[in-house]
Structure 1
Amino acid sequence: MSDGIEALRHRIDGTADLQSVVRTMKALSASNIGVYERAVQALDAYYHTVELGLVACLRQPDVPLVTETHPVGNPVSGVIVFGTDQGLVGQFNDLLADFVVHTLPELPGNKLIWVVGERMQDRMEDHHLPLAELFNVPNSLNAVTALIGQLVVAVETARERGKIHGLYLFHNRPGEISGNYEPIIQRLLPLDALWQRQLRAQPWLTNRLPETLGSSMQTLAALIREYLFVSLFRACAESLASENASRLATMQRAEKNIGEMLDALKHSYHQLRQEGIDAELFDIVAGFEGQM
């Protein structure tokens, strides 16, 4: 009897420790969601500045629209997929991987895929997709900048060498419902012609028309790199917010299950302990009656 009670006591202690870990992970995920959501909101002002720069460049008479060219032969589409390195995120990677697999045939030509996250890499390899390079998921907001810099360099190098024609981005972004997320695709390159015309048609903020210093085309190229940077940064931050939202939902379910298990273990412990006390009382009563 005592061995059974002791074993239950150990199980209760282990379950309580696990509950504490889950609560800590839940609090950390909730905190991270706020950090990355605020980062996405802060990007709006920076993106607006880049957009104003593009408006200024595209309004210059010597800057034509950046039109989509038709490469000779079979074009290659560059693809960036944001996944996770860590687990406990539910169907986060699986849903995005399925979305990528079903959407890739709609993109032109062959594919060259950069993957962020080892677990997403595993999903891509399961579908035998061609992977160019793996990048680690940043573990903090400060590390996002370094990752995006590496991605921009990889994309620009591939473009300069003629390895890719367009660039497409896959990631999860937070949904309207708390803890929910949805996979999306963005075409970053070539720049959308309609979007460029809309930028050209935007009225300037003041009566002083903008001018570019130096070469307008060089300035435009620099602004396009900034456009890539801010778009990738936003996608990464949205992916990290979605990852933490998925982990938070997973931890909430785990906390509920652990709580129910802990209640059941405590009930069994008290019941077994009461049975032991009752047995000892019966032995005492029986011994006393035997002496009468």
Structure 2
Amino acid sequence: MRTLESLKRKIVGAGELKSIVRTMKAMAAANIGQYESAVGSLGDYYTSISLGIVAYFNETNIGPILEIEKPKDNSENSICAIVFGSDQGFVGQFNDTLTEFVSQSLLDLPGKKEVWTVGARIPLLLTDVGFNVTKNFPLPNSIDVVTSLIGSILINVEESHSKGTLHEFYIFHNHAIPDTMYGPKSQRLLPLDEKWRQELTTLQWPSKKIPQVIGKNKNILKALLSEYLFVTLFKACSESLASENYSRLAAMQRAEKNIEELLDNVNHAYHRLRQSSIDEELFDVVSGFEALKNGNVH
């Protein structure tokens, strides 16, 4: 049975929870700003690096530098999926949607699959659906820490490439989508083969001036390709972090609305019960007065 005291406790508890939710909303909104800014800057830098590679290819006949050797006829192709998930909760279907997307996407690719994850929550979901998660990287809590994460991933990519244990690398992550908040996407990171080269050369030079490359040697191309891989992963991580905070902000908005509805209901119940208690006290007073007035009480 609800009492005035129990309803008071519910009101206080809901008010404290609402304060926490508002703080989390503010943090998510602030994080969205820094990650969106990074994504915008990286988009321009990514285009510049890609155009630099296109300019180099246009002036030389050199083949792809970082193309990974194909497996021999008697060996199976090995695919690595690098999946960016979340560390914390309150993100709705952020990780579940991504897990389903990864499952469907890798299903269409022939060969042995291996998964590297970023974030503490996504590995469990991918393991549950049957994937072999061999590496897990900690998720950065700010844009300043993303560089070290990408460096660690690239070191592992280079080691696997050198050993010949993995032949293809794909990136999976969520990204912001207007009107729908976020959605999953994928991109092939390696190999940088002829297919990749043909796709890259579809980029149009932004002016009528013909670009010139100073010092046409492989070291320049290697430097450009190294930056290309770095910024591709950095951009994917930043987009994932931005969409994660979009999801958290939406979850906090729903939570705040639910708490407000709960507070409204509890407050109404509290006032009704309080009024009922007052009415009962008044009725007792009136009854006592009537009894005294009629001389029924000695």
TM-score w.r.t. structure 1 length? 0.91
Which structure 2 residues correspond to residues 251-270 of structure 1 after superposition, within 5 A? 251-270=252-271
Contact 2:78–2:168, Cα closer than 8 Å, also in 1: yes
Paired positions, count: 287
Q: What percentage of aligned pairs have identical amino acids?
A: 46
Shift of 1:57: 3.2
Partners of 2:68 and 2:163 lie apart in 1 by: 17
Asked whether the equivalents of residues 56 and 211 of structure 1 are also in contact (C-alpha less than 8 Å), the reply is no
Q: Contact (CA 8 Å) 1:60, 1:211: kept in 2 or not?
A: no
| Residue 197 (structure 1) shift | 3.8
2:289 corresponds in structure 1 to: 288
Equivalent positions of 1:210-225 (< 5 A) are 210-212=213-215, 216-225=217-226
TM-score normalised by structure 2 residue count: 0.89
**Counterpart residue number, 1:175:** 177
What displacement does 1:118 show?
1.4
Rate the CA distance shift 1:181–1:208 in 2: closer, same or farther, 3 A. Answer: closer
RMSD between superposed Cα atoms in Å: 2.2
How many angstroms does 1:206 deviate by?
4.8
Return the offset for 1:196: 4.3
Distance in structure 2 (CA, Å) of the matches to 1:113 and 1:39 = 26
Equivalent residue letter for 1:176? P
Structure 1 distance, partners of 2:45, 2:238, is: 14
Residue 274 (structure 2) aligns with: 273
Residue deviations 1:157-197, cap 9 Å, x none? 1111111111101111111215x211111012122131344
Residues 1:112 and 1:221: Cα distance change in structure 2 (over 3 Å): farther
Unaligned runs of 5+ in 2: 294-298
- Do the aligned partners of residues 165 and 205 (structure 1) sit closer, same or farther apart at CA in structure 2, a change above 3 Å counting? farther
1:61 Cα shift?
3.2
Task: Provide the residue aligned with 2:243 in structure 1.
Answer: 242
In structure 2, relative to structure 1, the CA distance for the partners of 1:217 and 1:205 (3 Å cut) is: farther
- Superposed CA deviations along residues 66-113 of structure 1, whole A, max 9, x for unmatched, are 567532121211210010111111111011101111111222311221
- Given that 1:36 and 1:141 are in contact with CA atoms closer than 8 Å, whether structure 2 keeps it comes out as yes
Give the secondary structure class of the aligned counterpart of 1:118: coil
Match of 1:87 among 74, 89, 96: 89
- Stretches of structure 1 that go unaligned for 5 or more consecutive residues are none
Q: Which of 186, 193, 198 is matched with 2:197 structurally?
A: 193
Question: What amino acid sits opposite 2:175 in the alignment?
Answer: R
- Does the 8 A contact of 1:116 with 1:136 survive in 2? yes
- Could you tell me whether the CA contact under 8 Å between 1:82 and 1:170 is conserved in 2? yes
Q: Which letter maps to 1:54? A: I
User: In the alignment, what sits opposite 2:43?
Assistant: 44
Pick closer, same or farther for the CA change 1:41–1:203 going to 2, 3 Å: closer
Q: How far, CA to CA, are the matches of 1:63 and 1:107 in structure 2?
A: 29
Give the corresponding residue for 1:139.
141
Deviation at 1:289, TM superposition (A): 2.0
Which residue does 2:23 correspond to in 1?
Answer: 24
| CA distance, structure 2, for counterparts of residue 196 and residue 261 of structure 1 | 54
Question: Distance between the aligned counterparts of 1:222 and 1:108, measured in 2?
Answer: 31
The equivalent residue for 1:9 is 8
